[in-house]
Structure 1
Amino acid sequence: MCNEYERHIRWAEYCRMLDLSLGIPTRQSELDLPPSDDVRINKTAPVMREADDGIELVPMNFSFPPSGARGGPVFNFRSEGRQFDTTNRCLIPASAFVEFTGKKYPKTKHRFTLNGAPFMAIAGIWREGHGNHPPAFTKLTTAPGADMEPYHNRQIVVLRPEDWSAWLHLTKPEDELLRPLAAGGRVVQTVREGRA
């Protein structure tokens, strides 16, 4: 499942998109949104969350720590059947996310972007750090839509820009937000062919 994404977002585009629904962050700059070719599990990356004066970018660890002795990091979190009204919600800015297909390494690598927008926001939740663990975030997942079914049996929740504020403030029902995009909502490009 989606354990890697990229972030190449121009600051001017970021501010323009935020101004449509969330307001421009007043005390931050492009230094708070550094580019990255591959954000992977346990790497630090910025997320957007509510602040006293609107929205802020905060660096956090990508994945919750394991919950048990045998568990691994939690980088995807199933959204169905859950409520998030008392949870710390966030938006994960990304220019693309990656999925892999095939059974042998190297697997075929597919890059997904949001159709008609310069970047996307993935629905996420975050937790404060405890002990030697820093604050962390994870991505929410749902059943696959038509664009994702050929590649995986789950998908991350990608929110259209008009729903960013609704996710942070829960001004729409969660089941309207935490669902797949309509067919054609994403563009997919195969960037590496794997072994047959």
Structure 2
Amino acid sequence: MCNLYRIERSPDAIRRLFEDVQIPLTFPEGAPNIQPVDVRITDRAPVVRWNADHAELVVRRWSWPSSYGSPLFNLRSDGRNFPRDRALIPFDGFYEYTKPADPGQKTKDRWLFTPAEGRTFAIAGLIKDNPDVGEAFTLLTAPPGPDVAPLHGRQIVLLPSDVWRSWLDGSARSADLLVPTGPGELVVAPA
């Protein structure tokens, strides 16, 4: 499953994306210094949460400790309802790995998925306070869409910008939004 994603946008660029869909975005802890980076499990990264009538961008840890000890960085959304603690994770690409085509190769092949031209997505997630690590987020997953299915058996849920508000404010049912991307919505390339 997705255990690595890329963020390249500045806080101001993220703010403009939200303004484009009439969602006020604030920085309650100040605008973070976001450098282009590949985000790994337990790294701190930008996440957008809802606060009464507006969205807030904060920097939090990706994953919280699960009851079985390993980090909970992805959570299956299939058939589940998430009425609260919803979040959006800004991203510019995510990676998946496959077994190498060459049996002598020791490392897995890495693939980068990016939004197709003209598409804007954010990753659907949950944010919650954890007694061990503080407020942290996880990414929601679904069965793969046609762009991901040839390489991986699941995918992170990517929400188009026209549903960001209804996801964050809880006005939309989870089942209506937590679905795979359609054909041609992602571009895949070896990374």
The alignment's TM-score, normalised by the length of structure 1, stands at 0.86
Residue matched to 2:14: 14
Residue matched to 1:128: 129
Residues 125, 139 of structure 1: 8 Å contact kept: yes
**1:11 Cα offset (Å):** 4.1
Structure ranking higher in strand proportion: 2
**1:72 Cα offset (Å):** 1.2
Within a 5 Å distance, the mapping from 1:56-95 to structure 2 comes to 56-68=56-68, 71-85=69-83, 87-95=84-92
**Letter matched to residue 91 of structure 1:** L
**1:14 Cα offset (Å):** 1.9
The equivalent position to 1:97 in structure 2, one of 69, 94, 97, is 94
5+ long unaligned stretches in structure 1: 192-196
Deviates more, 1:135-144 or 1:6-15: 6-15
Aligned length in residues:
187
**1:37 Cα offset (Å):** 1.9
Determine the C-alpha separation between the residues in 1 that align with 2:56 and 2:106.
39
Residues 64, 138 of structure 1: 8 Å contact kept: yes
CA separation of 1:155/1:25 partners in 2, compared to 1, >3 Å: closer, same or farther? same
Within a 5 Å distance, the mapping from 1:30-179 to structure 2 comes to 31-32=31-32, 34-52=34-52, 54-68=54-68, 71-85=69-83, 87-102=84-99, 105-117=106-118, 120-130=121-131, 132-179=132-179
CA separation of 1:174/1:180 partners in 2, compared to 1, >3 Å: closer, same or farther? same
Residues 9, 119 of structure 1: 8 Å contact kept: no
Residues 64, 130 of structure 2: 8 Å contact kept: no
**Letter matched to residue 49 of structure 1:** R
CA separation of 1:171/1:52 partners in 2, compared to 1, >3 Å: closer, same or farther? closer
**1:133 Cα offset (Å):** 1.7
CA RMSD of aligned residues (A): 2.1
Deviation string, structure 1 residues 3-57 (Cα, Å, up to 9, x no partner): 0001001444322210133534245699426024211111111200112451111
5+ long unaligned stretches in structure 2: none
Residues 113, 120 of structure 1: 8 Å contact kept: no
Determine the C-alpha separation between the residues in 2 that align with 1:126 and 1:82.
16
State the secondary structure of the residue aligned to 1:172: coil
State the secondary structure of the residue aligned to 2:166: helix
Q: Displaced runs of 4+ in structure 1, greater than 6 A?
A: none
Determine the C-alpha separation between the residues in 2 that align with 1:183 and 1:8.
24
CA separation of 1:48/1:26 partners in 2, compared to 1, >3 Å: closer, same or farther? closer
CA separation of 1:59/1:152 partners in 2, compared to 1, >3 Å: closer, same or farther? same
